[in-house]
Amino acid sequence: MPNNSRSKPVYSAEDLAAFSPDRDLGFPGEFPFTRGIQPTMYRGRLWTMRQYAGMGDAEESNHRYKFLLDQGTAGLSVAFDLPTQIGYDSDSPMSLGEVGKVGVAIDSIEDMQRLFAGIPLDRISTSMTINATASILLALYVALARRTGISIGKLSGTIQNDILKEYIARGTYIYPVRHAMRIVTDLFAWAGEHLPEWNNISISGYHMREAGSTAAQEVAFTLANGITYVQAAIDAGLDVDLFAPRLSFFFNAHNSFLEEIAKFRAARRIWARIMRDRFGAKIPRSWMLRFHTQTAGSTLTAQQPENNIVRTAIQAMAAVLGGTQSLHTNGYDEALALPTEEAARIALRTQQIVACESGVLNTVDPAAGSFCIESLTTQIERDVQTYFDRIEKLGGMLRAIERGWVQQEIQNAAYEYQRAIDAGQATVVGVNRFTREDEPPIPTQRIDEALERKQIDRVRALRARRDSAKWQASLESVRDRARTGANLMPAILEAVESYATVGEIASTLREVFGEYQESVTV
C-alpha cells in the first residue's frame, strides 16, 4: 500500500486547471524560481556535497573532516555536542555524560583551533548547526580566522542561528523567545557588515519534519519563521535588500519522492512572492530561496540497517530534482550510533553516484511540466497558505509558538503517521513488513569514555592560565551590552578572544535575559 495518501492514482491536464497564468513555469533563474534559482542550475555548478559530522573532542572531529575532504566532500558541516548547544562547559554538572556524545565538544577558542587544524578556512565553506549559542560559535570561528591571519571577509559558510524552530521541535533553547530573537538580529547586523560571504541564518524545517510534521507543515512553519526573522530585522532598522540575500534555508528530504520534489518547488515560489510583495525587496537575490537539504534521519531503521542506503539514495535524488544548493546524505548506521567512517564514505558516494552516473546534470529541472509534480506543487502552496492564514489569526508565529499551537499541530501529524504504521496502512520495510528474525550486529562508532575527563581537564587548565582581569572585563562588556540593547557581537568576539568559554558567555547572558520555560499543552 502506498505511504503517500495525498497523491492521486493518475494525473492529467485537467489537474492543472488551477495552474493560473501568474504561476507560469517560465524558466529556471526567473521569478518566482519554481524551476530553480539559477538559469543553468547543476549544468553550471554542482550542489555542494556537505557532510554533517562531529564527535568526541576537536581532534577526533578534525580527523573525520580531513577524511571526508579526502573522499571528495566540498564543504564541512559541524555537529556540536549537547552541552555546547545549550551553553554549558564540559566541566558543568549539567554536562555529565553528554560531552562529545552527539557532536563535538567546544568550550573555547583553543578547541576551535584544534577542530580546524590544517584546514584552510578561506578555501573551505563551513556550516555550523548551532542555534542558542550561535553568536558565540560564530565569534569563535571569526576569532580563529583572525588568529591564523585570514581575512574574515573571505570566510564563507552558514551559521544555523534559527532559534524559533528550537521552541517548536528540537528543544535546545536557552533564553526567552523575544530575547533570543534580539540575539539573532544582532548577529544579522554584525555579520552583514563584516562577513559578506557568510549566510547568517539557516531557517530550518528539517527538525520539524523529524518531529513528525507533514511536507506542507514543514514548508508553512519554516517560511512563517522566515517571515518573523525578516520582520524582526526590519524592525531593528536593517535594510531588507542588505540582509535578505544572505538568508538560507534547511529542509528535510523525506520518503515520498514526488511530494518532496514538489515541496521544494513550492517553497521557492512562495518565498519569492513573500519577499517581493510583502516585504518590498527590490533585488532578485532577495527573492531567492537558497537551501541545504539533509536526508531524513527519522526514516532510518535499526532493523536491517543496510536498507537505509536505498532510502537515503531515493531521498537524495528528490532533493536534487527539487533544486537544492547543498546536500548531506545520512549514514546507514545512524539509527544505531554516530556514523562510522565506512558509513560516511557510502553516504558521500551516494551523492557522487547521483551526480556522476544518474544523468541529472544533463537537463535543468527535468521534472518540470509533469502533471503530477505541478499539481502537487500547487496543492502544497495552497495548504501552506491555509496555515499562514491560521497563524495570522493567532497573532503571528511568535504568539503561535508561545501558545504551543505549532507544536501541537506537528504532534498531531506525528501521531496520525505512527497510527498508520501501527495499523499496517503505511509500510516501513523491515519494521512492519518484510521483517527478519535474525539481525546480525554491525560495527558502530564508539566514543571513548575517557574523553569527558580529558575535555574537563583542558577547560580547567585554560581557566588557570588566562589573564583573569582581561577575561572578567570582557564578560562585563557582554553583560552591559545585554542590558543596554547594544549589539552583542563585538563584546562576544572580545570575550572569546580573551579566553572566555562558551558556558561563561552563555551564563552571563542568562543573568540578564533569564531562561525560557516551556508552556505545557494538553
How many CA atoms lie less than 13 Å away from 105 in the CB half-sphere?
Answer: 28
- 9 contacts: CB under 8 Å, gap ≥ 6: none
Q: What percent of the chain has pLDDT above 70?
A: 96
**pLDDT interval class at 47 (50, 70, 90):** very high
Q: Are 344 and 331 in contact (CB under 8 A)?
A: yes
Q: What is the mean pLDDT of the chain?
A: 94
Three-class secondary structure of residue 283 per DSSP: coil
**pLDDT interval class at 519 (50, 70, 90):** low
How far is CA 520 from each of CA 59, 104, 399, 414, 482, rounded to the nearest angstrom? 41, 31, 15, 18, 29
pLDDT of amino acid 164: 96
Distance of alpha carbon 204 from alpha carbon 158, whole angstroms: 12
pLDDT of amino acid 131: 97
Residue-by-residue DSSP string for 413-458? HHHHHHHHHHTTSS--BTTTBS--S-----------TTHHHHHHHH
The domain limits of the chain are 13-422
Q: What is the grid cell recorded at 306?
A: 543496510
Distance of alpha carbon 179 from alpha carbon 181, whole angstroms: 5
Q: Are 249 and 291 in contact (CB under 8 A)?
A: yes
Q: Go through 247-256 and write b for each residue having 16 or more CB atoms within 10 A of its CB, e for each that does not.
A: bbbbbbbbbb
Tell me, what DSSP letter sits at residue 210? H
pLDDT, tens digit (0-9, with 9 covering 90-100), for 409-426: 999 999 999 999 999 999
pLDDT, tens digit (0-9, with 9 covering 90-100), for 277-308: 999 999 999 999 999 999 999 999 999 999 99
Residue 75 clears pLDDT 80, i.e. is over it: yes
13-422: CATH topology: TIM Barrel (3.20.20)
pLDDT of amino acid 441: 86
pLDDT of amino acid 384: 98
**pLDDT interval class at 2 (50, 70, 90):** very low
pLDDT, tens digit (0-9, with 9 covering 90-100), for 183-204: 999 999 999 999 999 999 999 9
Q: What percent of the chain has pLDDT above 90?
A: 90
- 396 contacts: CB under 8 Å, gap ≥ 6: 228
pLDDT, tens digit (0-9, with 9 covering 90-100), for 458-517: 999 999 999 999 999 999 999 999 999 999 999 999 999 999 999 999 999 999 999 998
Q: Are 145 and 197 in contact (CB under 8 A)?
A: no
User: Average pLDDT for residues 245-273, to the nearest whole number?
Assistant: 97
Residue 22 clears pLDDT 50, i.e. is over it: no
Q: pTM of the entire structure?
A: 0.94
